[in-house]
Structure 1
Amino acid sequence: HFNLLSSQTVVDNIAFPMRLAGNQDAKAIRTRVDELLQRVGLTAHANKYPSQLSGGQKQRVGIARALANRPSILLCDEATSALDPQTTASVLDLLAEINRELKLTIVLITHEMDVVRRVCDRVAVLDAGRIVEHGSVADVFLHPQHATTRRFVNEALPEEAAGEHLRYENVPGRILRLSFRGEATWSPTLGRVTRETGVDFNILAGRIDRIKDLPYGQLTLAMQGDNVDAALHALRDAGIEVEELAR
């Protein structure tokens, strides 16, 4: 919940923590409030009450209020769970802007892996109060190791659902998953390698997307021919991660 003071205006809600901290300089408080209103895009709503705001606007007030006393860490607990998809996107863009421009560490608690993919640099997955996996978002998303992580990733990327390879048990060839990151995502490496080695391949599933600012792609394919091992070696030399899936 946004936990705004319903009887106070947007300005007073944002000013509240500064007054709690003992700041009695009304001019300095208003200057800081105006600065925060501009940052979160609510200058035109300064004198409105929470009941007059949309969910996304209320969340922006909450973010501005949290920034009021210039914290070194911003803690966001399910910051988008009460918002519609379009509003979620705008709030995530705001958080990414704050992280980038203010150099402020943001700890984001969420069960929505798409939120993690869009704005986070590193991720820790908790299960029953214990960290079961952690690392860069790209590593965890592309190669989840723990069952809980795989479940979360599969919810965000259903085409990669656990047991997917069972659909391919009658497909001839070796079943492979190729992972591309950065500029390799746009390079025609697969076509070049298969021409050079004379192997055939059939694409079974795939996607291209971004993890924050990093482009990435994954392909699940069946590969056949006498030189499959040579093809896999060439792909790895080109910086492509290759995983052979058991049937």
Structure 2
Amino acid sequence: MEKYFKMVTAMFLMIVAVSCSKENDDTINEPEKTFDINNPVGYVIYAKFAGLEFYSTNLIFLFDFLPAKRMVSYSAYAPRNESEYNTPNASTMIYRPYPSWANFNFTIENGKITNIKSLDGSISEYSVIKKPATNQLAGKTFRGKYLKKDGTVLQDGFYTFLPDGKTVDVGVQFPTKTRTETYTNVGNIGALVNIVSGTNNDHEIMILVDGKLQVNYRDNVSSSPKIYHGIFEEVK
């Protein structure tokens, strides 16, 4: 009888241990969170497309969702534009960030973008990104190159994001900085410099995608504005 009692007690303790383990594991029975076209707040959409009138063929955008079916687009071409978007069906979003621009048509299926169309240019890269909880740029340095339209190197460059989450040092030859900018945090993966210091009205945007910093710089000094594109990798 004593042996039987010990066996039952041991089995009971095992069941309790497993039960407590499951209660402490927050991932158990938690539904997978994916992009919902009817409730997209908390996500951003990254897109890169070719605008043939620009010096660079790579124009990058970050689209951020607000409540009440509103979206904000961020870019070096037009720093911040907010307007409504509509969903004509269960897998399509239509958004026009600026009155004179063509629509962006997003096709989304199973939480992923399967197509983006715009008459202003052809889309070469795009992805839906869930906003991380913290600023993914703060405290990191990225080095890389700005590219010409034909893909050859224009110049070297680097970006050092300070731990404060709002300031970035920029330069050509690391680690000598040539300017320091205050930026707007976008979705904890993007940084928008509305007006670059020392310029009339230049704009700059930096977006961290798949571990690389994609950058656009709009030069408004000349009579025909040019947008430069660069790719930068983290210095570890």
TM-score with structure 1 setting the length? 0.23
| Greater relative contact order (CA < 8 Å, ≥ 6 in sequence) | 2
More strand by share: 2
